[in-house]
Amino acid sequence: MESSDREDRADAPVTGNAAQTLLDLEFTNRFTADLPADPESSNARREVKGALFSRVAPTPTSAPALVAASAECAELIGLDPAETQTEDFARVFSGNGLVPGMDPFAMTYGGHQFGHWAGQLGDGRAINLGEVLGPDGHGWNLQLKGAGPTPYSRTADGLAVLRSSVREFLCSEAMHHLGVPTTRALSLTVTGEQVMRDMFYDGNSKLEPGAVVCRVARSFVRFGSFELPASRGEVHLIQGLADHVIRTCYPELVPDGTPIDKGVYLEWFKEICQRTATMVAHWTRVGFVHGVMNTDNLSILGETIDYGPYGWLEDYDPNWTPNTTDAGGRRYRFGHQSSIAHWNLTRLASAIVPLLEGEVEGLQEAVDAFPKAYADEWGRQLGDKLGLAAFDEKRDAPLAAELFRVLELAETDMTIFFRALSDVTSDPAPLHAAYYTPDKVGSDAREALEAWTQTYLARVGQDDRPTEERHAQMSAANPLYVLRNYLAQLAIDEAEKGSYAGVVELLDVLRNPYTEQPGREQFAGKRPEWARHRPGCSMLSCSS
C-alpha cells in the first residue's frame, strides 16, 4: 500500500467510536517527532550513540497471510474489525507495505539480563510502524515483531517463527481479558517463508514457518531504555525520554502544561513502582510466570511486555520457571518475581538519578516502599481469590501461608483449586478435582487440606455475607480458562500444518476467562500426562 493510494482528507484527530479503514488511521508519531534519531540511515548492525532510535523499514516477505486478529484491539486503535480480514491488512501487518503517515523505526536500549549488564540491546526483531490516535484520545504504538533485521539485531536475523508468535499473540490478548496490565496484540500473520531456529540451543536446528505479530501499546519504552544512556552519561537523552513518557503516558502528572521538575520526576517514579507492584500481583493472582524479567523486558508503564518463555503454574510450585535458560539458577521463578521487580526498579532508579540532580533520598524511599506496595496489592487480590470481604494482614496472612503450604504437599492444579474453592461449603471434596493423581495423595496432605478448609470456612463465616456474593467475588478473581502451555502447543501444532482454526478458537475461549463456556470444558482441564515433559508444554527457551 503506497502513499499515493491514499486520497487527501482533512487532518482532523480521530475521535468518537467510528470504526475506520486502514487509510483513515491518524498517525501522530510523537516518539520520532520528540526525540533524537540515529543520523546513520543504513540498516547495518552497529552501536548507536546519541540517539534513541533508528529509522528502518520492515523486510518484505513472499506470501503474507492472516492467521488471526483481535477485534477488540482493532477497535482500540479505531479500526473496523472487518478491515482485519482484508488483503491490505495482511500486507501491512506482515511488513509488506506502509500506510501513509507511518514512520517505521527501531528503539535502542540496554538492560541487565539475568542480573548482568548486557550493554546495548535494542529492538533486534521489532519495528515500530508509528503511533495511532485512537478513539479514546490515547496514542497507540503499532509494532511488528519478526519483520526483519534492524541495527540492533546483532548476529540475529530479526525474524520470528510461528511457534513463538502464536504464543505471543494469544498471551497478549489472554492477559488483557484476565484483567492483567499488558501490551496488546492486533494480529498474527505468516510470511510464507521458512526460518532456521535451534529451539533449545542444542545443535538441532530446523526450518520453521516464519510469522509476524503486531503488538500494540501506549509505549514500548522499557527500564533499559534509560539504563543505556545512563551508562554512557547521555543525560540529555535520559531527560528527553523521561519528558516524552511523562507527557504522553502520564499526563495526569503535568496538568495544563505544568513544567516537569524534580518533583514531577519523583512522582513519576513512584507511580512506576506502584504500577509494577500491581502488575506482578496480578501475575501472582492468575499463576503467571514471565520467565525472563530482564530490565529490558519491564515496561515503563507497568504493563506485561515481551512474551517469551512464559508459563502458567499448573501444579503449584513457587520455584517453577518455564525458561530452560534459567533452569539452573531459577532467578525468574514464580515465587521470586516480586523480588526481581524490586531489583529491577533499583536499576531504573539509578539510571534516572541525574533527573533528581543528585537528590536520591526520594528515589530510595520509593524503592524501599515497593515490597509493602506489592504486599498490599497482593493481599487485596488474594482476599478476592479467597472470597473475603477484606484481607487483613494480621488475621489472614497465617491462613494464606498455610494454604500455600498445603498446595505443595501434593501435586495440585492452582487454577482449578481456586476456581473450585467457591463451591466448598462444608468439606474439601470439591477441591480434590485439582489433584493430578488423586489416588497417590497421602493421608498427611488430605488431613492438612481438611484442617485448612475448616479454618477457612470459619474465617469466611466471620464476614457474615451471602454465599452468592462470595461466589461472585471469587469467580471474578479466579479464572476458569488460562493459556496453559499445552493448549498453546496444540494450536501451534495445527497452525504449523496450515490450519489456524485452533488459534482462532483458543483466542475466542480466552476472551471470557471467568465465564463457563458450555462445550469447551476441555480448555479448563488439567495438563494431560503426555504434556508433562513435552517441549513447548513444560519448558521453553528464548528461541523465537
Range of the domain at 449: 380-477
Our CA angle for 525, 528, 532, nearest 5°, is 130
Residues 6+ apart with CB under 8 A from 364: 349
- Residue 191 resides in a domain: yes
pLDDT tens-digit readout, 75-89: 999 999 999 999 999
**Amino acid residing at 303:** E
pLDDT tens-digit readout, 199-248: 766 677 899 999 999 999 999 999 999 999 999 999 999 999 999 999 99
| Predicted model pTM | 0.94
pLDDT tens-digit readout, 416-455: 999 999 999 999 999 999 999 999 999 999 999 999 999 9
- Residue 275 resides in a domain: yes
pLDDT tens-digit readout, 3-53: 333 333 233 333 434 569 999 999 999 999 999 999 999 999 999 999 999
Residues 209 and 299 in one domain: no
More confident of the two residues 398 and 155: 398
User: Grid coordinates representing 127?
Assistant: 519495528
Residues 82 and 199 in one domain: yes
Residues 40 and 26 in one domain: yes
Residues 247 and 272 in one domain: yes
Q: How far apart are CA 461 and CA 441, in angstroms?
A: 29
User: Grid coordinates representing 6?
Assistant: 491514499
Q: Is the pLDDT of residue 135 over 90?
A: yes
Is residue 67 a contact partner of residue 188, using CB atoms and an 8 Å limit? yes
Residues 6+ apart with CB under 8 A from 56: 43, 104, 105, 106, 127, 150, 151
Of 171, 208, 200, 205, the closest CA to residue 188 belongs to 171
pLDDT tens-digit readout, 317-328: 999 999 999 989
pLDDT at 199: 73
Largest distance between two CA atoms of the chain: 75
Of 40, 50, 4, 49, the closest CA to residue 23 belongs to 4
Q: How far apart are CA 439 and CA 449, in angstroms?
A: 15
Residues 357 and 454 in one domain: no
- Residue 332 resides in a domain: yes
Q: Beta 206-217 vs 184-197: how paired, if at all?
A: antiparallel
Residues 214 and 240 in one domain: no
Q: How far apart are CA 190 and CA 495, in angstroms?
A: 10
pLDDT at 458: 97
Residues 250 and 357 in one domain: yes
Q: Which of 220, 241, 272 is the last residue of a domain?
A: 220
Average pLDDT over the chain, rounded to whole? 94
pLDDT at 7: 33
Residues 183 and 263 in one domain: no
Give me the count of residues in the chain: 544
- Residue 317 resides in a domain: no
pLDDT at 543: 61
Residues 153 and 103 in one domain: yes
- Angle of the 467-477 helix axis to the 370-386 helix axis, nearest 10: 130
- Residue 453 resides in a domain: yes
pLDDT tens-digit readout, 177-197: 999 999 999 999 999 999 998
Residues 472 and 394 in one domain: yes
- Angle of the 370-386 helix axis to the 414-421 helix axis, nearest 10: 60
User: Grid coordinates representing 224?
Assistant: 533499559
Q: Is the pLDDT of residue 127 over 80?
A: yes
- Residue 205 resides in a domain: yes
Q: Beta 105-107 vs 53-55: how paired, if at all?
A: antiparallel
* Total Cβ atoms within 10 A of residue 369: 14
Mean pLDDT, residues 387-408: 97
Of 25, 302, 300, 20, the closest CA to residue 142 belongs to 25
Q: Which of 220, 239, 263 is the last residue of a domain?
A: 220
Residues 371 and 395 in one domain: no
Residues 161 and 89 in one domain: yes
- Residue 536 resides in a domain: no
Active site residues: 296
pLDDT at 85: 97
Q: How far apart are CA 317 and CA 312, in angstroms?
A: 11
Q: Which of 446, 477, 508 is the last residue of a domain?
A: 477
- List for the chain the helix, strand, coil content (%; round to 5): 45, 15, 40
Tally of structural domains, the chain: 3
Q: How far apart are CA 184 and CA 136, in angstroms?
A: 15
- Residue 431 resides in a domain: yes
Mean pLDDT, residues 94-109: 97
